[in-house]
Amino acid sequence: MKKIGKNILKATIIFAIVFAFVMPASAMINQRDTIKPQNIVNDPLKLLLSKGPGWVEQATGFWEPSRGLTFMHAVDENVVWAAAYDGLSGTSPCREFTKTTNGGDEWFADIISEAPDDGRIAMIYALDENTAWIAMHSGNPQGIWKTSDGGITWVHQDTAVYNETGSFPNVVHFWDENDGFCQGDPVDGYYEMYTTTDGGDTWVRVPEENIPEPLGSGEYGTVGYYDVVGDTVWWGTQYSADRGRVFKSTDRGYHWTVADTPFGSGCWVDTRFKDQNNGLAMDKRESTEGIIAETSDGGETWTMIDQTGLCYSGDFDYVPGTDNLYISTGVYSSDPTYQGASYSFDGGHTWIEWTEVSGIQLFATTWVEGIIGWAGSFSQDEYTGGVYKYIPGYESNLYCEGELRWESAPQGGTVQGSFIVKSMGEPGSELNWEVDEYPEWGEWTFTPASGTGLPLGDSITVDVEVVAPDDKETEFTGTVKVVNSDDSSDSCEIDVYLLTPRNKAVYNPFFLRLFERFPNAFPILRHLLGF
């Protein structure tokens, strides 16, 4: 019997090998092979609106109604200075400012009596609660004023002349108590810029040969449109006849280069950088939505962003200390749709609106580390309104991407796949998550099966390994449920599909048709092949 059995087995194997070579075989799957599913990714971003009470209204202290904030500068989480404008008549003179030294719990407004009463403040820059500079335009005289006593008195630093035809100061900035620069529109055929090494007591105009020439008589700078990282300065232009540009200095304003932006004629270009290489430029000319371009080479080249969601065009800022978080604000009164604030955790590509300030006019904005920021609004009176402060509510939201699908899984064999868990909460939030449920069939392993402290906008890949059931020619379905560990109502599901074939080892359509036609033939071969 043993000899006969061996002969039958030998004959059967030879028979199978012959037919395998004669007939074209379909794809052969070894039971030990790992099968990776096609990972079908859904819409990569789920725009979740913040539910946290992060924004708090504060009173800026202006005694006149409808004072708006045209520029804000936060020194840290406690000290913030802001320049005012007349919200009832945007072109009327206004030489008022406000500041806080306790994070906005109290704001103290005042008037710069030493400045001309027909002037307007372009912007304000502060080193601390006592020392600040303003650029004043439109009045007589124009120029730079400094306070060293917290705004009680101001001194006109008149060596930054700004008294020629076409003079118009836009920007002033200081790196420390001594070194600074200021920028104005073209005068005598080149931009009127100055540098100082003594706190502004003496300003020296930057030579013409150090500055690229203006494109034409219609190219100008814009009030407060600039940014600084380290020793590098950028500022954008407005130009009615052609593209806007971005000027750049890497030595604190002594020498300048310039680069084109992809924005069309009539643009108003502002810039914000997160480091020496990466930043955004916004065309702010539209009263509805900001148009964004990005750079990764320090502003030498710019590429338009095909953004998703609403980026407001009132103002924008990078949040220091974050990976890639930017904030935008909207102020325009013609349509409440474009009033409010939004944030982007991916460098301006995706914008998410804050519902709690939707429809509120927000203009100048400034942010510090810890994701703490302020956005200027309009005051009603000395005790009501004028600015909103954001303190992170740390409300996390969960989103999942992917699908687990295996259409030919070996019975009892191992298959692998993956899906993505993403943190989509409000700024400052960190997601704690865990795999909560999965199908009862099979043996499941998740790596990792949970996680803590996933920052906003970040994602993690969860690798999945499943030992398939022994049932052949069977469909298995179900879902993997992931939950927010801090909020069980915040969950997402990954669809699962697994199909085991007819046989465990070899699948050949010839044998299948043969055995279906002759069910009583070749019983040993049928047994060996698993049919």
pLDDT score of 27: 28
Q: What is the DSSP string of 268-313?
A: EEEEEESSSS-EEEEE---SSB-EEEEESSTTSS-EE---BS--BS
Return d(Cα 43, Cα 56) in angstroms, integer: 33
What SS3 string covers 362-424?
Answer: CCCEEEECCCEEEEEEEEEECCEEEEEEECCCCCCCEEEECCEEECCCCCCCEEEEEEEEEEC
- For 8, the 3-state DSSP assignment is helix
What SS3 string covers 162-216?
Answer: CCCCCCCEEEEEECCCCCEEEEEEEECCEEEEEEECCCCCCCEECCHHHCCCCCC
pLDDT score of 1: 42
pLDDT score of 512: 55
| Weakly modelled stretches of the chain, pLDDT under 70 | 1-53, 394, 503-531
Place of tokens 């939030």: 429
pLDDT score of 528: 52
pLDDT score of 8: 41
Supply the Cα-derived Rg of the chain in whole angstroms: 33
- For 66, the 3-state DSSP assignment is coil
Query: Residue 386: which of 162, 82, 1, 129 has the closest Cα?
Result: 82
Structure tokens at 465: 């390994």
pLDDT score of 513: 60
Exposed/middle/buried for residue 17 (C-beta within 10 Å: 0-12, 13-18, 19+):
exposed
Sequence-distant (6+) residues with CB within 8 A of 15 are: 522, 525
Place of tokens 């194997």: 13
Q: Which residues pair with 373 in a beta bridge?
A: 367, 390
Sequence-distant (6+) residues with CB within 8 A of 14 are: none
Q: What is the pTM of this model?
A: 0.75
pLDDT score of 300: 97
pLDDT score of 256: 98
In 2-45, which ranges are continuous DSSP H helix? 2-22
Place of tokens 């009176």: 381
Give the CA distances from residue 504 to residues 37, 412, 468, in Å, rounded to whole numbers and listed in that order: 18, 9, 12
Q: Using the Cα atoms of residue 452, residue 455, residue 456 and residue 458 in order, give the sign of their dihedral.
A: negative
Query: Residue 187: which of 203, 167, 211, 206 has the closest Cα?
Result: 167
Which domains, and CATH codes, for the chain?
2-46+397-517 (2.60.40.10)
pLDDT score of 242: 84
Question: Kind of pairing, strands 384-390 and 398-401?
Answer: unpaired
